[in-house]
A and B are shown apart, each in its own frame.
Chain A
Amino acid sequence: DQQVKQNSPSLSVQEGRISILNCDYTNSMFDYFLWYKKYPAEGPTFLISISSIKDKNEDGRFTVFLNKSAKHLSLHIVPSQPGDSAVYFCAAWGSNFGNEKLTFGTGTRLTIIP
């Protein structure tokens, strides 16, 4: 039962354009959402987060949008740069069959084309 879903396994975007990565969740107990970025052979690195009481959070080139009614969030990267090429994981914090924990999606591989 995948409670956090990233339905696009991969995405290619031209350098300078906007990258939009999507994430859907099914558990209404999730109340905090995070995006992580992962390079090969490295651990995930925290990128940006959003609380369920907000609908937008911005940090430099990165903006996360949350639509609670649709149980959907997205990460916008603008402008996209070659160094943004990585796997991006959406993660949700909240009660998952009991104790609170972080539940990850399966990731989206973003490739920025120079």
Chain B
Amino acid sequence: GAGVSQTPSNKVTEKGKYVELRCDPISGHTALYWYRQSLGQGPEFLIYFQGTGAADDSGLPNDRFFAVRPEGSVSTLKIQRTERGDSAVYLCASSLNGYSNQPQHFGDGTRLSIL
């Protein structure tokens, strides 16, 4: 498909477990973003990649959260020692070059539930 693809669409796991969420951006988009959306809230910025490098990771809540984009395309968000408060929808977005006038295109998200 031509859009941003996120897998899995749903993930249920127990507290303390490790999870990986995958994002496949639109081909040719150099900018990739991760957001977290809790119930009743708007998407909240986590991290921004320009190519392979994390240009801004100021939104990651703590060191249990980590993300990579080793080849400048697919990105993986990794959460260690999950907590119930990590339950949310995790959204990935990509844009052509990261400039403000290039809209971010979102995937459908991964709904993460920590039991």
Contact = CB atoms under 8 A, between A and B. Distances in A.
A43 B42 contact: no
A44 B106 contact: yes
A89 B43 contact: yes
- Chief secondary structure at chain A's binding surface: strand
A32 interface: yes
Contacts, number: 58
B40 interface: yes
Given A99-B55, A104-B42, A43 B91 contact: yes
B4 A101 contact: no
A75 interface: no
Range for the number of chain B residues in contact with chain A:
20 to 34
Interface stretch (A11-19, A45-53, A61-69, A77-85): A45-53
Contacts of A4: 42
A51 B101 contact: yes
Range for the number of chain A residues in contact with chain B:
20 to 34
Interface in B29-44: 33, 40-44
Nearest to A99: B56
Nearest to A91: B42
A31 B100 contact: yes
Given A41-B108, A46-B105, A106 B100 contact: no
Given A43-B106, A46-B104, A101-B56, A106 B45 contact: no
Pick the 4 closest A-B CB pairs, nearest first: A104-B42, A43-B106, A46-B103, A32-B100
Interface of A: 4, 9, 31-32, 34, 36, 41-46, 49, 51, 89, 91, 93-94, 97-107
Interface of B: 4, 6, 33, 40-45, 48, 55-56, 58-59, 91, 93, 100-101, 103-109
Given A91-B42, A98-B56, A99-B58, 19 more contacts: A4-B42, A34-B103, A42-B108, A43-B4, A43-B6, A43-B93, A43-B106, A43-B107, A46-B105, A49-B103, A93-B100, A94-B100, A97-B58, A98-B58, A104-B42, A104-B44, A106-B42, A107-B40, A107-B41
14 contacts: A32-B101, A34-B103, A42-B108, A43-B4, A43-B106, A45-B106, A93-B100, A99-B56, A102-B45, A106-B40, A106-B41, A106-B42, A107-B40, A107-B42
